[in-house]
Amino acid sequence: MTMCSNVVGTSQPVEAIGKGLRARAPHVLFIADAAQAMSALPIDVQAMGIDMLAFSGHKAMLGPGGTGGMFVSERAYTAEGLGGRGGPVRPTRFGGTGGTLAGSVEDFNPPALPGVFEVGTQNVVGRAGLLAALEDDKVPPQPIALAHERRLIGMFIDRFAGDDRIALLGPTAVDRRHGVVTFNVKGFSPQEVSAYLDSEWAIAVRAGLHCAPSAHRAMGTLEGGGAVRASPGPFSTDAEMGKLIGAIERLLTD
């Protein structure tokens, strides 16, 4: 399951779901998509009962594009405790076994983690960039960054929550979401709003389906071209959010 929606910012009750799965269906592997959640929300794979967790490096981690990783628990790799159902996780690609002298003579990747899943030449430059992002002491700690981002999206929600010309998508309670606010403006397509913000105000947003057409289908926004998503980060300011709010106000009055 997705820990955080990249479309509307909703944070899911992952820990409650993970504990429920362990109690009621211990043979099931719990796989979490933390692309949006990593560095944005606190994550404890043991407390949450997560067997596998995938994350990207270019979102809240502030690393380069094309980076990310996968946590694979010992339980998932060995199928321990799964009652023999499903079998352990196995790689789907093979090759590049030269990590160690012993592994170099093997026809397949060495069986131990993590080498069994590391096929071919690694993205060394990307890893260095991701490490630099993690070690950047200018980035606020996760709880401070999250509180800051929630306060900024709260400014937008508070301004437009009662305006029937603005369709706010996702929960209005900021404690149920991370730093994403998604909306549509009555009478304008998402692409028109995005172009207006870019050309007239130098504000960058994402318009469209956000790589999740099924989410927009469920919300009824698919046929209209999706929605507009603004993503304040740890370095965004009150003035910048005020500028976005002012730009939408101007669009509504022009």
What is the per-residue pLDDT across 154-164, written as a single tens digit (0 to 9) for each? 999 999 999 99
Angle at 74 between CA 96 and CA 115, to 5 degrees: 10
Q: Which residues contact 235 (CB under 8 A, 6 or more apart)?
A: none
- Tell me how far apart the alpha carbons of residues 85 and 164 are, in angstroms, rounded to a whole number: 51
Terminal CA-CA length for the chain: 42
Residues in the chain: 254
**pLDDT digit string (tens) for 66-119?**
999 999 888 888 765 444 445 567 778 777 665 555 556 667 777 777 777 877
**pLDDT digit string (tens) for 148-194?**
999 999 999 999 999 999 999 999 999 999 999 999 999 999 999 99
Q: Burial letters for 140-175: b for 16+ Cβ neighbours within 10 Å, e otherwise? A: eebeebbebbbebbbbbbebbeeeeebbbbbeeebe
Q: What is the pLDDT of residue 101?
A: 56
**pLDDT digit string (tens) for 12-48?**
999 999 999 999 998 889 999 999 999 999 999 999 9
Asked if residues 26 and 81 have their Cβ atoms less than 8 Å apart, the reply is: yes
Domain ranges of the chain: 14-134, 142-253
- Structurally, what CATH architecture does the domain formed by 14-134 represent? 3-Layer(aba) Sandwich (3.40)
Indicate whether this model's pTM tops 0.85: yes
Q: 190-201 and 238-253 helices cross at what angle (nearest 10)? A: 120
Residue 156, token pair as written in the block: 């937008």
Residue 238's closest CA among 176, 154, 178? Answer: 154
- Structurally, what CATH architecture does the domain formed by 142-253 represent? Alpha-Beta Complex (3.90)
Alpha carbon of residue 172 to chain centroid: 19
Mean pLDDT, the chain, rounded, equals 90
Q: Average pLDDT of 125-142?
A: 95
Strands 68-72, 166-169: pairing kind: unpaired
